[in-house]
């Protein structure tokens, strides 16, 4: 199985996509369709998030298994330390390996119910993503990614501390990091500069979400942990009652963001798809990102 590291180190920019595990049969159909529609574009890898609940956790195994066994794409499963003992984490990692998934995004996760509440580790569990990276790496030949935060993680005291903790994840064995959503190219580039002063070889991928609806704009702000910049609000807010106009302006905005990131030499763009492929296909086509195996 090809590793994510190999797929993003091909000497030209690539794109990858993120899905969430389906919650029911209808979701399953939607995801199946997105997978079929994206497969021919040969994304570098396909990641599937890991939720707080037991059902969604099984969904991550099932979705990544399907991608590994029934498509030509490279799957990456997210894994969190939330409510897991080390024994359970070993078990999950074993399941991933058993279904052919050798790429894992090791994130700590947030306390279930209240993402901003106090983190409480499982009594026999782990405290930080750094520990999870070490665990995954100790269990076999896995390619491991971690999370990075352009504006700093909300729990970090300051950006220097945040950078130190990110570097610790690389030193623990992470092969690359995927940055949380952000609005301005410079927000990502500043993060890249902070990391490069300590580790010039650290690989960082930006996350991008096509802004197709008012909801996606608000979701981006929520995940980024910052307000929508004034210039973007001024452009997008008047279009709130015009879905087609909003979508067209949002796709333009995201395409421009991606163009600048590509010009700055990012190895790839990680698209948050919300399990729909159309907008991602449009942006990728406009960027001229040809299938990487073509």
Give per-residue burial for 210-221: e unless 16+ CB within 10 Å, then b: bbbbbebbebbb
The nearer residue to ligand FAD, 62 or 252, going by C-beta atoms, is 62
Q: Would you call 18 a catalytic residue per the annotation?
A: yes
CB of 173 to ligand FAD, least distance (A): 13
Q: Using the rule CB under 6 A, is 130 a contact of ligand FAD?
A: yes
Q: Which stretch binds ligand FAD (CB under 6 A): 106-114, 213-221, 230-238, 259-267?
A: 106-114
Q: Using the rule CB under 6 A, is 178 a contact of ligand FAD?
A: yes
The nearer residue to ligand FAD, 34 or 166, going by C-beta atoms, is 166
- Our measurement of the distance from residue 250's CA atom to the centroid of its chain's CA atoms, rounded to an integer in Å, reads 20
Among 64, 80, 255, 273, contact with ligand FAD (rule: CB under 6 A): 80
Among 7, 65, 134, 165, contact with ligand FAD (rule: CB under 6 A): 165
Among 75, 109, 150, 268, contact with ligand FAD (rule: CB under 6 A): 109
Among 56, 62, 99, 155, contact with ligand FAD (rule: CB under 6 A): 155
Q: Using the rule CB under 6 A, is 37 a contact of ligand FAD?
A: no
Q: How far apart are CA 170 and CA 83, in angstroms?
A: 24
The DSSP code sequence of the chain is ---HHHHH-SSS-EEEEEE---SSHHHHHHHHHHHHHHHTT--S-EEE---SSHHHHHHHHHHHHHHHHHSSS-EEEEE--TT--HHHHHHHHHHHHHTT--EEEE-----SS-TTS-----TTS-SSHHHHHHHHHHTSS-EEEEEE-TT--TT-SSHHHHHHHHHHHHHTT--EEEEPP-SSHHHHHHHHHHHHHH-TT--EE-EE----SHHHHHHHHHHHTSPPPHHHHHHHGGGTT-HHHHHHHHHHHHHHHHHHHHHTT-SEEEEE-TT--HHHHHHHHHHT---TT-
The nearer residue to ligand FAD, 162 or 187, going by C-beta atoms, is 162
Q: Using the rule CB under 6 A, is 62 a contact of ligand FAD?
A: no
Q: Using the rule CB under 6 A, is 153 a contact of ligand FAD?
A: yes
CB of 40 to ligand FAD, least distance (A): 25
Among 4, 68, 107, 136, contact with ligand FAD (rule: CB under 6 A): 107
Q: How far apart are CA 43 and CA 53, in angstroms?
A: 28
Q: How far apart are CA 141 and CA 269, in angstroms?
A: 25
The nearer residue to ligand FAD, 169 or 247, going by C-beta atoms, is 169
Among 162, 174, 280, 283, contact with ligand FAD (rule: CB under 6 A): 162
Q: Which stretch binds ligand FAD (CB under 6 A): 22-30, 152-160, 183-191, 235-243?
A: 152-160
Q: Which stretch binds ligand FAD (CB under 6 A): 29-37, 96-104, 126-134, 279-287?
A: 126-134
Catalytic residue among 6, 18, 69, 70: 18
Q: Using the rule CB under 6 A, is 41 a contact of ligand FAD?
A: no
Q: How far apart are CA 216 and CA 240, in angstroms?
A: 12
Give the residue numbers marked as catalytic.
18
Q: Which residues bind ligand FAD (CB under 6 A)?
A: 49-50, 78, 80, 105, 107-110, 128-130, 147, 153, 155-156, 162, 165, 168-169, 178, 180, 207
């Amino acid at each position: 199985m090809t590793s994510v590291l190999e797929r993003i180190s091909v000497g030209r920019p690539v794109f990858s996509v993120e899905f969430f595990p389906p919650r029911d049969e209808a979701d399953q159909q939607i995801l199946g369709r997105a997978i079929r529609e994206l497969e021919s574009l040969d994304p570098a890898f396909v990641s599937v998030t890991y939720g707080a609940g037991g059902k969604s956790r099984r969904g991550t195994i099932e979705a990544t298994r399907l991608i590994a066994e029934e498509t030509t794409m490279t799957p990456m499963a997210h894994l969190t330390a939330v409510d897991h003992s080390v024994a359970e984490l070993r078990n999950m990692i074993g399941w991933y390996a058993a279904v052919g998934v050798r790429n894992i995004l090791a994130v700590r996760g947030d306390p279930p119910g209240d993402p901003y509440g106090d983190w409480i580790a499982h009594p026999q569990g782990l405290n930080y993503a750094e520990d999870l990276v070490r665990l995954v790496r100790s269990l076999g030949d896995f390619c491991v990614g971690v999370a990075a935060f352009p504006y700093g993680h909300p729990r970090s005291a300051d950006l220097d501390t945040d950078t130190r903790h990110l570097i610790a994840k690389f030193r623990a064995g992470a092969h690359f990091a995927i940055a949380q959503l952000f609005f301005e190219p410079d927000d990502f580039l500043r993060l890249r500069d902070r990391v490069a002063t300590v580790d010039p070889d650290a690989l960082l991928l930006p996350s991008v979400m096509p802004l197709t609806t008012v909801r996606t704009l608000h979701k981006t702000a929520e995940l980024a942990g910052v307000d929508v910049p004034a210039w973007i609000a001024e452009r997008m807010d008047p279009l709130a009652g015009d879905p087609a106009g909003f979508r067209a302006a949002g796709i333009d905005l995201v395409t421009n963001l991606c163009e600048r990131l590509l010009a700055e030499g990012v190895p790839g763009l990680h698209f948050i798809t919300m399990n729909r492929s159309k907008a991602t296909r449009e942006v990728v086509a406009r960027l001229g990102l040809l299938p990487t195996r073509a």
